[in-house]
Amino acid sequence: MVNFSIIITAGGVGKRMQSNIPKQFLEVKGIPILMHAIRKFYEYDNTCQIILTLPEDWLTYWKELIVKYNFTIVHQVVSGGVERYDSIKNALQFCDSDVIGVHDGVRPLVSSETIKNCLVNVKEKGAVVPVITLKESLRKIEQNGSCSLDRKDYVSVQTPQFFLKEILMKSYEKAFHDKITDDASLVEESGFKINLVDGNEENIKITTPFDLKIINLFI
């Protein structure tokens, strides 16, 4: 089994969720969404290093949730930054494994198979990202209308995204700009090849109240 560190990012405030608290703290089936996400990695490998990034204003609230739900999985908490990029860069200095994964804290349905797919490939390939194929037809918006695209040429990207530590550290030497949408885009911009593996369809990112209904069906 590959030893790894996993950075779970939970820096969002959930404006589209129409909630008074960040979406990662909303309860699903008895515990907060973020705790479900942490459990997925602990259940896959209880020796992995788990690092959690949270908005500084919500650190005390998270400590209260740990007590309230008697959450005993060992993890390290790091204050998040202004951007997701800043949060992960803060967390990287604490990673002690040669393989580092980055996962959205509001994806509580990542499967063990997806994690395994990434880990069995990352040592050889260096940068691995789980994806799923598209079912819907695609159209590109253009100035004078739109045009059809072949969906076979596109995939939907998920997390966790796994990298060799040296690759991710090197990539985070680059300055942030608004076209960096995830770690894969940053790593690719730094000159490294991104390799794709199968993800799992239910591994959605919770963004809206509708997404929350879907998660409740699966957990």
User: Would you state the pLDDT for residue 12?
Assistant: 62
The pTM of the full predicted model, rounded to 2 decimals, is 0.94
User: Would you state the pLDDT for residue 14?
Assistant: 54
The per-residue b/e assignment along 116-143, b for 16 or more CB within 10 angstroms, e otherwise, is ebbbebbeebbbbbbbbeeeeeeeeeee
Segment 169-191 shows an average pLDDT of 94
User: Would you state the pLDDT for residue 124?
Assistant: 95
**Domains identified in the chain and CATH numbers:** 5-130+157-218 (3.90.550.10)
Is residue 63 within 8 Å of 51, Cβ to Cβ?
A: no
Q: Is the confidence at residue 78, as pLDDT, over 90?
A: yes
Is residue 158 within 8 Å of 130, Cβ to Cβ?
A: yes
Tell me the pLDDT band of 143, cut-offs 50, 70 and 90: confident
19-28, 45-54, 70-79, 100-109, range with the lowest pLDDT: 19-28
Instruction: Express as a percent the part of the chain with pLDDT over 70.
Output: 96
The better pLDDT of the pair 193, 219 is held by 193
User: Would you state the pLDDT for residue 82?
Assistant: 85
Q: Is the confidence at residue 77, as pLDDT, over 90?
A: yes
Give the sign of the dihedral formed by CA 72, CA 73, CA 79, CA 80.
negative
pLDDT in tens, 4-34: 999 999 976 555 555 678 899 999 999 999 9
Q: Is the confidence at residue 1, as pLDDT, over 80?
A: no
pLDDT in tens, 91-137: 999 999 999 999 999 999 999 999 999 999 999 999 999 999 999 99
Tell me the pLDDT band of 196, cut-offs 50, 70 and 90: very high
Is residue 136 within 8 Å of 151, Cβ to Cβ?
A: yes
Residue 66's SS3 state is helix
